[in-house]
Amino acid sequence: MDAQEVVSAAPKIRVRGLGKVFGEPPAEVRALDNVSLDVLQNEFVTLVGASGCGKSTLLRIIGGLEYHTSGELLADGKPVSGPGADRAMVFQHYSLYPWLRVLGNIKFSRRLGVNRRHITSADVEVAEGRADALLRLMGLSACHNAYPNQLSGGMQQRVAIARALMNRPAILLMDEPFGALDAQTREVMHDLILHVFRLERSTIVFVTHDVEEAIYLGQRVVLMAPRPGRIDTIYQVPFGAERNQDLKHTPEFLRMKNEILGRIRQTSGMETDTEMLQQLSRTTQD
Amino acid sequence: MNSAAHRPGIWSIRGPISQRRYWILAAIGLITPILAWWLVASTGWVEKVFMPSPGAVWDRTLLWATEDNLLQDTGISVYRVTMGWLLSAVIAMPLGMLIGTFRPVQAVLEPLTDFIRYMPAVAFIPLVMLWIGIDEGSKIAIIFIGTFFQMVLMVAEDVRRVPMQQIEAAQTMGATRAEILQLVLLPSAKPALVDTMRITMGWAWTYLVVAELVAANSGLGYAILKAQRFLQTDKIFAGIILIGLIGLLTDQMFRFLHRKAFPWMHKKS
Ligand SMILES: Nc1ncnc2c1ncn2[C@@H]1O[C@H](COP(=O)(O)OP(=O)(O)OP(=O)(O)O)[C@@H](O)[C@H]1O
Ligand SMILES: [Mg+2]
C-alpha cells in the first residue's frame, strides 16, 4: 500500500460524537446530539431532514462558522477551530457583494492575504485564467460586467458558486443553495453542479429539504431527525457519476425517494399533525 | 394590449408617478406657501413687523449682501457647521463601526451613548463656555455635541445591517477580521453611511443657531438673533430661508454623490 492510498482513504471530514447546544441554561436548545459522519475525499454527500433537525447547524459547524459543544470534528485530519479557505460556503442568498460586478465577486478571494502571500506573476495569470474559465463554466461570460442586483436569482447563485470555487477549496459546503429558485432553473443548476463536481474533484456537503435533489446529486444521502438533531439513516445512492434528468423517472429513483420521504415524515412527527387535522375537521363539521 | 388602461393610479399605495408629474407637484408644494405668504403680507392683514412681504425680505437680503456682511456671515456659519459635523464624523465613523462589529465595544459604549444623546445639547452651553471659552471652538463644540452621539449610533446601526451572509462568505474564503472590516463591512455599509452623513449634516445646521447663542459676533444664526433685537423681521426671514437653502443644497450634493458613488444601487436590471 503506498502513501497516496492511505491519504485518500482517510476521510476528508470526520465528525465524531458531535453535539451542539445553543444558548445557556435554562434556555438551552440541543440542536445536535452525538452526530458521527465521515465524508470521503471527492465525495458528494447530501443532508436532508425535517425542518429544524440541525442540517444548517451541522454544515455551519463544519464550515467553522459555529462551534460544537461536544465531540470531535476534523477536516483533513486537523481539528476545525474556525472558518478557513479550505472550506468554502455557498448560502441560499444575500451573500454576494452588491457593490462588486460579477467578475469582482468571483475574484474577491484574490484580494485576501491568504492568497497574496508569496505569489508570482505566474500565479496571477493562473488566477486570471481560472476566473475566466469559471465565468465560461457557469455561463456567466455575457454578464461578467453586471452588478448582482441586475441578475436573476439563478444567475446570482452561479456567481456565488463560482466565487466559492475560485480558490479551489478542498471542501464545498452548500446550504440550500437552490432553495429560492424555480423548478426549471433548479434542474439546470443540478446538472451544472454535477458537472462542476466531476471537473473540480471537490468534496461537497450539500444541505437541502428537497429529497429528489438530494438523491439526484448525492452519492450518499444523510437523513437527519429532529429533537435533538441526530443522524437517522444514511442511504447509499446506487447511481453512478453520470446522471441526467431521466434518472428521476426510473422506478429505482422513485422508490428511494418515497422511502426517504416516508422516513422523514416518521421522524418529523407528522403523524400527530394528521391527527390534529382530523380533529380540526371534526370540530369544524359540528 | 390595452395595458395602459390598467396602469395603477398615482393614489395606489406606493404607486408609480411620472417624472413630469412629480416635478409639477413639487413645484406646487414649494410655490404655494410662498404665494400664501405673499398674499397675507400684501393684504396687510398682518402687521409688517410680524410678517414682512417676500419683496421686503428680498430687498433686505440684497442690503445684507451689499452694505452688511452676508458673505462673511454665511462663510463663518458654513465653517462652523462643517467643522462640528466633520469632527463628529471623523470620530463617529470608526467608533460606530467598532460598536456595530464587536459586542464588547457595543456593551461598553452603546448604553452610555444612548444615555448622553438624550441630554439636551443646549444645556451644555454653560459647560462649554466654562471649559472651552467663547471662541470658535465653543461653537464647533456645541454642534459636535448635538450631532456626535446620534451619529455614532446611526453608524453602528448601518454596520450592523450588513447581511451576516456577506461576512460569513468572506470568512469561508479565508478573510481575516481586518480584511472583513475593510473589504466587506465598510463597502457594504458605505451607501447607508453616506445617507447617515447627509441626515446628520441637517442636524448640524439646526444646532447652528444654538451654537451662535454663545457670544458670537458673526454668522447667520447670530444675525438672526441680532435682527430680533432690532425688530428686523425681514432679516430674520432672510436668515432662516438662507439656512434652509444651504441645507437643501448640501442635501442635494449628498444625494448626487450617492448616485455617482454607488451606481450598483441605482442601476436596476
Ligand atoms: N443561533 C441559534 N440560537 C439558538 N438556536 C438555534 C440557533 N440556530 C439554530 N438554532 C436551533 O437549532 C435547531 C436546528 O436548526 P437548524 O437551522 O440547523 O435546522 P435546519 O435543519 O437547517 O432547519 P431548516 O430546514 O428549517 O433550515 C433548531 O431548533 C433551531 O431553532
Ligand atoms: Mg437550514
For the A2-86+169-285 domain, the top CATH level (class) is alpha beta
- In chain A, domain spans: 2-86+169-285, 94-168
B2 phi/psi in degrees, rounded to 5: -80, 65
Q: What average pLDDT does range A45-74 have in this prediction?
A: 95
- Based on C-alpha coordinates, what's the Rg of chain B? 23
Q: What's the mean pLDDT in B80-86?
A: 96
Please write the tens of the pLDDT for every residue from A29-38: 999 999 999 9
The DSSP line for A112-131 is SGGGTTT--HHHHHHHHHHH
Is pLDDT above 90 for A220?
Answer: yes
Instruction: Give chain B positions within 8 Å (CB) of A96.
Output: 166
Task: Compute how many other C-beta atoms are within 10 angstroms of the C-beta atom of residue B41.
Answer: 20
Q: Report how many helices (DSSP H) and strands (DSSP E) chain A contains, helices first.
A: 9, 10
Torsion of CA B208, B214, B220, B226, to 10 degrees: 140
- Name the residue type at position A205: V
d(CA A88, CA A164): 6
The DSSP code for B8 is P
Give the range among A103-117, A261-275, B8-22, B108-122 with minimum mean pLDDT. A261-275
Can you give the C-alpha Rg of chain A in angstroms?
21
- CA A56 – ligand 1 centroid, Å: 7
Domains of chain B: residue spans and CATH = 74-214+253-266 (1.10.3720.10)
**From A8-12, A249-253, B257-261, the region with the lowest mean pLDDT:** A8-12
Report pLDDT for B4: 54
- Indicate yes or no: CB of A167 within 8 angstroms of CB of B173: yes
Q: What is the pLDDT of residue A276?
A: 76
A108 contact residues in B (CB cutoff 8 A): 170, 173, 183
> CA A69 from chain center: how many Å?
22
Q: List the single range of A5-19, A90-104, B168-182, B251-265 with lowest mean pLDDT.
A: A5-19
- Please check the confidence at residue A9 and state whether its pLDDT lies above 70: no
Residue with cell 445557556: A24
Looking at residue B1, its pLDDT comes to 45
**Minimum distance, in Å, between the CA of residue B256 and any CA atom of chain A:** 17
Q: According to the model, what pLDDT value does residue A271 have?
A: 61
DSSP B56: H
Residue B43: pLDDT band with limits 50, 70, 90: confident
pLDDT of B177 > 60? The answer is yes
CB atoms within 5 A of ion ligand 2 belong to A 56
**Facing residues of A75 across strands?**
A13, A78
Cell reading at B42 = 400684501
Tell me the residue type at B17.
I
pLDDT of residue A5: 46
Alpha-helical (H) ranges within B67-185 are: 70-101, 103-117, 125-132, 136-160, 164-171, 177-180
Q: What are phi and psi of A127, to 5 degrees?
A: -65, -40
Half-sphere exposure of B128 (CA within 13 A, CB side): 25
What CA–CA distance (Å, rounded) separates A26 from A39? 34
Question: Tens of pLDDT along B94-128?
Answer: 999 999 999 999 999 999 999 998 888 888 888 88
C-alpha cell at A2: 503506498
Strands A44-49 and A203-207: parallel
Nearest to A111, CA basis, from B193, B178, B261: B178
pTM: 0.88
Longest Cα–Cα distance in chain B = 74
**pLDDT value of residue A37:** 96
- Least confident stretch, A42-51, A118-127, A203-212, B257-266: A118-127
Q: Could you tell me the distance, in angstroms and rounded to a whole number, from the CA of residue A91 to the centre of ligand 1?
A: 15
- Edge to edge, what strands does the sheet with A13-22 contain? A29-39, A13-22, A70-75, A78-79
How much is the mean pLDDT over chain B? Answer: 91
Predicted confidence (pLDDT) at residue A4 exceeds the cutoff of 80: no
Q: Does B5 score more than 70 pLDDT?
A: no
- Read off the C-alpha cell for A160: 456565488
d(CA A213, CA A201): 20
Residue A234, all three cell numbers: 444514511
Q: What is the pLDDT of residue A75?
A: 95
DSSP 8-class letter at A132:
H
Rounded to a whole number, what is the largest CA-CA distance in chain A?
79
For A14-30, what is the mean pLDDT?
92
- Does ligand 1 have an atom closer than 6 angstroms to the CB of A218? no
Q: How far apart are CA B97 and CA B186, in angstroms?
A: 8
Residue A8 has pLDDT above 70, yes or no: no
Q: Do A95 and B262 touch (CB under 8 A)?
A: no
Assess whether the C-beta atom of A160 lies below 6 angstroms from ligand 1. Answer: no
| pLDDT tops 80 at residue A177 | yes
Instruction: Name the more confident of A122 and B23.
Output: B23
Q: Which residue among A18, A20, A21, A22 has the greatest number of ligand 1 atoms within 8 angstroms of its CB, and so is best to mutate?
A: A22
Identify the H or E element spanning A225.
strand A220-225
In the DSSP assignment, the letter for residue B4 is: G
Mean pLDDT of A92-103: 94
Task: Return the bridge partners of A70, or none.
Answer: A19
CA-nearest of A37, A39, A56 to A219 is A39
* Closest chain A C-alpha to B3 CA, distance in angstroms: 25
Instruction: Give me the pLDDT at residue A1, please.
Output: 40
d(CA A42, CA B132): 69
Q: Which of A99, A146, A64 is nearest to B261 (CA)?
A: A99
Distance of CA B245 to the CA centre of its chain: 12
Alpha carbon separation from A122 to A85, A118, A133 (Å, rounded): 21, 11, 16
Pairing of strands A29-39, A13-22: antiparallel
Spatial distance between the Cα atoms of B89 and B78, rounded to a whole number of angstroms? 16
What average pLDDT is seen over chain A?
90
Q: Specify the amino acid at residue A94.
A: Y
As a whole number, mean pLDDT of residues B58-65 equals 94
Cβ neighbours of A83 in B, within 8 Å: 168, 171-172, 174
- Packed helices B164-171 and A153-165: angle between N→C axes, nearest 10 degrees: 30
